[in-house]
Amino acid sequence: MSLLIVEHVSKFFGGVRAVDDVSFELKAGEMLALIGPNGAGKSTLFNMINGQIRADQGSIRLLKNELIGRSTRGIWRLGVGRTFQIAHTFSSLTVVENVQIALLSHERKVFGFLRSAAGLYRGRALALLEQVGMVDQADRACHELAYSDNKRVELAIALSNDPALLLMDEPTAGMASRERSDLMILTRRLATERNIAVLFTEHSMDVVFAHADRMIVLARGRLIAQGSPEAVRENALVREVYFGSGVVSGLKSATARGVSDE
């Protein structure tokens, strides 16, 4: 059974069809990569799922819950976590404090200033940091960390509300190839252990082919292919649009043609 069901979702900005009649599903524990050229609609689709942008048409359901029309916070509380393209941590706070704040926020505790919250949830925060391999750096300030370590902290923050679905916008941007694969291996382990569905955008085809179970391809707002990385790689339209000359052409007549291998 699918955890996330996206059906006929569209978003228009004036005359621009940023996302045009897109449908796909995602199962618990599955890692789905979303790829497409610049301007394809990836961020718009992402932001409709997390509630930052309201879809004009269609349906986005997490289990039985319709997400369209809910606030970002409401969607987060239903179990949708996210990480950002640029790591989002409070740089002057320590690693463990960043995670404690996320836990407090999830529990909706009101706190005046951090000092009073210092002891709260430290144990749970450390447990989350253990899972992302950052417990030994728990008391360092985030601004002292390497970029890839900040991404791990961000992952611990995203896990603080025990998400069923994790949205990752270009998780490996700005990283060297070794760090990339480490982060994706960690993500895979968390997805498996916690049965989390992961939807991520990615520019590096190496990352997609090495770490995604399935992929969907957007071009000019349309979903032009979906399936296993191997199947999508062989898709003629995808080759033309994405791996070919780099010139996006012939898409006006393109229909959303699946190459699902199921």
Q: Which of residues 18-77 bind ligand ADP (CB under 6 A)?
A: 18, 36, 38-44
Q: Which of residues 104-123 bind ligand ADP (CB under 6 A)?
A: none
As a whole number of angstroms, the distance between CA 225 and CA 218 comes to 8
- From the CB of 114, what's the least distance to Mg ion, in Å? 33
Q: How many amino acids of this chain bind ligand ADP (CB under 6 A)?
A: 11
Q: Which tokens sit at 134? A: 């950052």
CA distances to 182, 186, 255 from 177, in Å: 9, 14, 35
The residue behind tokens 């601004």 is 143
Chain center to CA of 153: 15
- From the CB of 241, what's the least distance to Mg ion, in Å? 16
- From the CB of 133, what's the least distance to ligand ADP, in Å? 30
- From the CB of 41, what's the least distance to Mg ion, in Å? 8
As a whole number of angstroms, the distance between CA 142 and CA 86 comes to 14
Burial 161-193 (b: 16+ CB within 10 A, else e): bebbbbbbbbbbbebeeebbbbbbebbbebbee
Q: 13 is in the binding site of which of Mg ion, ligand ADP, none (Cβ under 5 to 8 A by kind)?
A: ligand ADP
Residue choice 8, 13, 85, 130 for contact with ligand ADP (CB under 6 A): 13
Angle, to 10 degrees, between the axis of helix 122-131 and the axis of helix 147-159? 120
CB closer to Mg ion out of 40 and 175: 40
CB closer to Mg ion out of 42 and 180: 42
- From the CB of 35, what's the least distance to ligand ADP, in Å? 9
Q: Which of residues 27-46 bind Mg ion (CB under 5 A)?
A: 42-43
Residue choice 5, 7, 16, 182 for contact with ligand ADP (CB under 6 A): 16
Interacting residues with ligand ADP (CB under 6 A): 13, 16, 18, 36, 38-44
Report the interface residues with Mg ion, using CB under 5 A: 42-43
